[in-house]
Chains A and B, each alone.
Chain A
Amino acid sequence: MAIVNRAEGRLYFTPLVGFLLLFLGFPAIVNLVYSVSTVNFETLRSPTITGFGNYLSVLGDREFWRSVSFSMRFGIVTALAECLIGLFLAIFLAPLLARRSVLMAPLMLPLMVAPAMVGLMYRLVLHEFAGPVPYYLFEWFGDSPAFLDVNNAFRTLVVVEVLQWTPFAFLLFYMAYVAIPLDVREAAALDGATSFKALWWIELPLMLPTLTIAFFIRFIDGFRVFDNVYALTGSGAGGSTTSLSIYIYHAFFKQGAIGKAVAASVLLFLASLVVLCVLNWLAGLRRR
């Protein structure tokens, strides 16, 4: 016998469905209409539907593909770096954190800062005449690299993103690592497994679902990056640090091309949906 009957179930779902329809469904429909319309700030309430020209305009724009390339590279590089460093820290610091759990608080601090603030902070920290990093590099080595010029901006942005978000990956991995049952580890030790073998053959496979989820969450976050990049370099010299989110922002606000911006955002939504479907499929495989 079902604990909750069908009618009650529908009742319980009503607020959630209402919320989703109001806050996600309505904007989504408006977006879909704008994406196939000619519309500007003066005609927001009376767009003219003109077909798929906005999508063709976006897909034929070399700047769109350049921004997709930037977002893809940024998403993959930062997600990989955050997961690898986070995993190392989780395993390396686990014995220490088991005794001194209070150390977790300072390790989580970077997560508390708004990404835009992080961008502004590094704009100051890396300034040749006001920042401590170039100051000490000049003091010690007589020179300092241009952290934000066109050749180094990508690397600098990656480092800033990784410094802020590695604690997130670390937290997930640490929780997964300490959740591994003690008897599994004891059984491996009794069978003569070395620490490395236990890690490689037992602990990492048990942590694999968390590793996968963390990688995809960080990839999605990195792919849609806006705040800290915009605060630190804007869209970069010649548009060299234009992420897909910045491209959409520029099209919407700076060019007033609302239909084009919304069409690009619909494409971003579809790409995110594909990633989530892959994630769901992987989770399904695991359950089977």
Chain B
Amino acid sequence: MKMMRTSLAAVAALLSSIAMPGLSNAAVTVLGWPGGSEETALRAAVEAYNGKAAETDRVELLFFNRDGFFDKLQADMAAGSSAFDINLVATYSIGRYAPYMEPIELGPDAAKVFGESVLKTMQFDGKQYGVPTDLSLHFMYYRKDLIEALMADDAAKAKYAEIAKEHLEKELQPKDPDQWTWEDWAATALYFSKQVNDESPVRYGTVLQMKNLLFNMMVFQSLPRSYGGDWMDAAGNVTIDSEAYRTSLELYKKLYDAGASPRDSLSYEFAETNAAYSAGQAATALQWNAAAADLTNAEKSPAVADVTGVVAPPAGPNGRADHIHGLGLGLNKNAKNKEGAIKFLKWLASEEAALTYARGGGSPALAPEVVAKVASERPDLVKLGEFASRYGYVMTGATSANALSIYELQAKEFTGYWSGQQSLDDALAHTKAGMQDLLKK
């Protein structure tokens, strides 16, 4: 009898040990965007949600490397993976992932929080595929103290004009950054570079993100866009070999070769650029808006937080241009816990969640009445909405199924030119041929 009881207890223990992982499987798994402010903000939002959610609805987060994220995601989803219930989706890749996702109904309050136009960045074929969590565009970060000192010193102005004449062959004078053209920015970057001007108070005039990485092409392309550049014309011809792209690629190379950007810039992406600028050794940086929370935070960037100004990217002959796209979270068709996942997504579309996400460092594009509630803590979110509506653009063809492959191709060919491995003509010819092939598919 005693042996029987012992055996039953052992079986019960065994069954409970098998059941425990089953319980943990009931949680909602979210595959998020790793390594940036989006991860920090999502962690904060999930912590708030888990604090009040039922045991079976609790959210677990899953992250993998940012590099190649969308390709790995496609492979996982095409294979019918159920390792995550909710996955990241971006404006430029919704069409690619929609076959593996399920549309969701967010309810009428979502439009009050984000506005209809922002909700549309997560729609495909008229259906809502995700909750918009972050709108991404670029800010020109600059050192207010350095620019003010330059503007107040006649000798410095003369030196600036001399450098602009020598390197850019233009008669230029220092200007308020909000009035900058790309040439004004380039002259400023050269003036504040030790290699060009040994009296510069900082080592570099700017930090260019030039790593062979698709996201760096998004940062770069606002320059050719402001010169009238586009991927394709109205007739569907690839126009990457335009004068706008030539001028822009040459300007980047000129700045890099002159030492206006760190010599390792060809391996720089988001994190390296932040580290360089926040070290206080660069006068300007064209960087994602997501960096604002860190670069203007006195604890995280003590050397520059109080003296950092933010404006929209400089103007070209066609005015200012700022690349925009949205990131969001949507429902995996093969989710194990769809019910729990939908509950979390609906909560994420609420005002409470959006404000928690914003306070956590994320960059949601919020309706004016909602953003007003965090305007004192996150003034950059006010600018985000303003710049997106005034200067935001999407290149023609940049939402096609192969958009990411096109960015990859540009990254490889353009960095080949910037590093001196191929001529500008070759880089543009290779890019054009590759884009024609990718846009045909």
Contact = CB atoms under 8 A, between A and B. Distances in A.
A238 B212 contact: yes
Contacts of B417: 238
B152 to A, nearest CB: 28
Interface string B361-396: 000000000000000000000000000000000000
A239 B415 CA distance: 8
Interface stretch (A27-35, A122-130, A164-172): A122-130
Contact of A148 (B266, B404, B415): B266
Interface in B388-419: 404-405, 408, 412-413, 415-419
B120 to A, nearest CB: 26
A238 B415 contact: yes
A146 interface: yes
Given A146-B263, A256-B405, A237 B74 contact: no
A254 B266 contact: no
Interface string B244-282: 000000000000000000111011000010011001010
A150 interface: yes
Interface of A: 41-42, 44, 123, 126-130, 145-150, 153, 230, 232-240, 249-250, 253-256
Contacts of B275: 127, 129-130
B419 A146 contact: no
B78 A42 contact: yes
Contacts of A236: 212
5 contacts: A128-B262, A129-B276, A150-B266, A234-B267, A250-B408
A216 B61 CA distance: 42
Given A130-B275, A146-B264, A256-B405, A237 B75 contact: no
Interface string B126-167: 000000000000000000000000000000000000000000
A254 B71 contact: yes
Contact of B212 (A123, A129, A234, A255): A234
B67 A237 contact: no
A253 B279 contact: no
Given A129-B275, A237-B416, A238-B421, A149 B263 contact: yes
Point out which of B99, B267, B279, B416 has the most chain A C-beta atoms below 10 A from its C-beta: B267
Contacts of B419: 149-150, 237-238, 240
B263 A130 contact: no
A237 B422 CA distance: 11
B267 to A, nearest CB: 4
Nearest to B211: A234
A251 to B, nearest CB: 11
Interface residues of B, number: 36
Q: Is the interface of B mostly helix, strand, loop or mixed?
A: helix
A237 B421 contact: yes
Contact of A234 (B67, B272, B413): B67
Contact of A127 (B272, B420, B421): B272
Given A129-B281, A238-B413, A239-B212, A41 B78 contact: yes
B266 A149 contact: yes
Contact of B279 (A41, A130, A235, A250): A130
Contacts of A150: 266, 419-421
Nearest to A63: B412
Interface string B29-50: 0000000000000000000000
Interface in B68-91: 68, 71-72, 74-75, 78-79
Contacts of A232: 267
A44 B272 CA distance: 38
Point out which of A123, A148, A153, A232 has the most chain B C-beta atoms below 10 A from its C-beta: A148
Interface string B231-248: 000000000000000000
A238 B405 contact: no
A237 B262 CA distance: 15
B213 interface: yes
Given A127-B272, A239-B212, A254 B68 contact: yes
B345 interface: no
Interface pairs A-B: 8 shortest CB-CB: A238-B416, A146-B263, A253-B71, A237-B419, A129-B279, A148-B267, A150-B419, A41-B78
A153 B267 CA distance: 10
Nearest to A249: B68
Nearest to B414: A238
B75 A41 contact: yes
B210 interface: yes
Given A41-B74, A253-B68, A238 B412 contact: yes
A234 B213 contact: yes
A130 B67 CA distance: 21
A235 B75 contact: no
B433 to A, nearest CB: 13
B170 to A, nearest CB: 28
Point out which of A44, A129, A150 has the most chain B C-beta atoms below 10 A from its C-beta: A129
A128 B419 CA distance: 18
Contacts of B420: 150
A253 B76 CA distance: 11
Contacts of B262: 128-129, 146
Contacts of B266: 148-150, 237
B328 to A, nearest CB: 22
Contacts of B210: 237
A41 B264 CA distance: 36
